[in-house]
Amino acid sequence: MVRVLRKQDWFHADGFPISIERRDPQEPFGLHAHDFSELVLITGGRGLHVTGRESWPLAAGDVFVIGPSRPHDYRNMADLRLINILFEPRVLERQTWDLPALPGYHALFNLEPAWRSRHQFRSRLHLQAPELARAVALVDMIDEELQRRDPGFAALAVASFMQLIGYLARCYSRSRDPDTRSLLRIAEAITHLESRYDQPINLDELASIAHMSKRTFMRAFTRATGTTPIAYLIQLRVRHAAALLRREPLNISEVAYRVGFEDSNYFSRQFRQIMGASPREYRRASVSV
Ligand code: RM4
Ligand code: NI
């Protein structure tokens, strides 16, 4: 059994969903998983990052995300130093503004883990020294707010966290490495889906955004995300529909139409399959809480 680190032991008692741990250096820790996510910035030294059966060498400037329940460990450490930003994924589920419009955002948080394991970790975010310095300065701002915990700290810490993520996503998008470029092309197709989910979308268009043939695109997308482009789109639509059902007094077919479904029966079936309740039941349950 892999040891699982729990939120209650690593986050402040007030429940704020971001916490910072500096490892200067990282001490041997052992294989473990978490019920939260970690955004890790390697700031110095060397080591090996191990997750599952894969491992890859670390150097200053490497940045990666470890999602919940993914076991990992650091080995062969030589003065390995890192900053670990612990966060609950819900921070990125609520209000992300236009972060999902950045391909680097999807590459860092959604695609990379799946893609990495299939491509021996060749695609990843690596910051140049000045970029790393800027990222660390943003972390320091979050940290200062978390240390002081003055009124308003939550808003300011989240604001700096978003700035950090936006900055990292932009750095990712600028990468010239060929493996990373191909990952980013899939991320661009996702960005397109995310911003036009309510419109008719065809595969040819997506494949051309990714600069791939339709067949290669289908295969690469499915490998990177674990689902087909169509299933991804349907999930996206259903997610947006759920938000509308919670917030707006629209009738079901209007909701279906707004998120891009032409047929409201089809919408209801897909909704039930993904959310485990019909749109009507879902709305009733969310009103009563
Ligand atoms: C450890 C190591 C782990 C992290 C915990 C919180 O020193 O960095 O990856 O999960 O701290
Ligand atoms: Ni960890």
pLDDT in tens, the chain (289 residues): 899 999 999 999 999 999 999 999 999 999 999 999 999 999 999 999 998 778 889 999 999 999 888 899 999 999 999 999 999 999 988 788 999 899 999 999 888 666 666 655 566 899 999 999 999 999 999 999 999 999 999 999 999 999 999 999 999 999 888 888 888 999 999 999 988 999 999 999 999 999 999 999 999 898 888 889 999 999 999 999 999 999 999 999 999 999 999 999 999 999 999 999 999 999 999 876 5
Q: Considering only CA atoms, which residue is closest to atom 2 of ligand 1? A: 29
For residue 33, how far is its CA from the centre of ligand 2 (angstroms)? 6
pLDDT of residue 284: 93
pLDDT of residue 286: 86
Instruction: Supply 110's token pair.
Output: 């959604």
Q: Give the span between the Cα atoms of 64 and 135, in whole angstroms.
A: 13
Q: Which residue(s) pair with 44 in the sheet? A: 81
For residue 200, how far is its CA from the centre of ligand 2 (angstroms)? 41
Ligand 1 near 33 CB (within 6 A) = no
Ligand 1 near 81 CB (within 6 A) = no
pLDDT of residue 263: 95
- Helix, strand, or coil (residue 121): coil
Ligand 1 near 23 CB (within 6 A) = yes
Q: Please, are residues 77 and 137 in contact by the beta-carbon 8 Å criterion?
A: no
Q: Which amino acid is at 236?
A: L
pLDDT of residue 289: 56
Q: Which residues of 151-180 are buried (b: 16+ CB within 10 A; e: fewer)?
A: eebeebbbebbbebbbbbbebbbebeeebb
- Residue 152 φ then ψ, to 5°: 95, -5
pLDDT of residue 70: 86
Ligand 1 near 19 CB (within 6 A) = no
Q: Which residues of 63-91 are buried (b: 16+ CB within 10 A; e: fewer)?
A: bbbbbeeeebbbeebeebbbbbbbbbeeb
Q: What is the DSSP letter of 210?
A: T
Report angle CA 183, 187, 189 to the nearest 5 degrees.
120
Mutating to test ligand 1, I would choose from 4, 24, 26 the residue with most ligand atoms within 8 A of its C-beta, which is: 26
For residue 86, how far is its CA from the centre of ligand 2 (angstroms)? 9
Ligand 1 near 11 CB (within 6 A) = no
Neighbours of 117 (CB within 10 A): 13
Ligand 1 near 34 CB (within 6 A) = yes
Atom from ligand 1 closest to the CA of residue 72: 9
pLDDT of residue 3: 94
pLDDT of residue 122: 62
In the chain, DSSP assigns E strands to: 3-5, 18-23, 32-34, 37-51, 54-58, 62-66, 73-87, 125-126
Q: What is the DSSP letter of 26?
A: P
For residue 78, how far is its CA from the centre of ligand 2 (angstroms)? 18
Q: Which amino acid is at 177?
A: D
- Residue 60 φ then ψ, to 5°: -55, 130
pLDDT of residue 117: 62
Residues shown for the chain: 289
Instruction: Supply 112's token pair.
Output: 């990379």
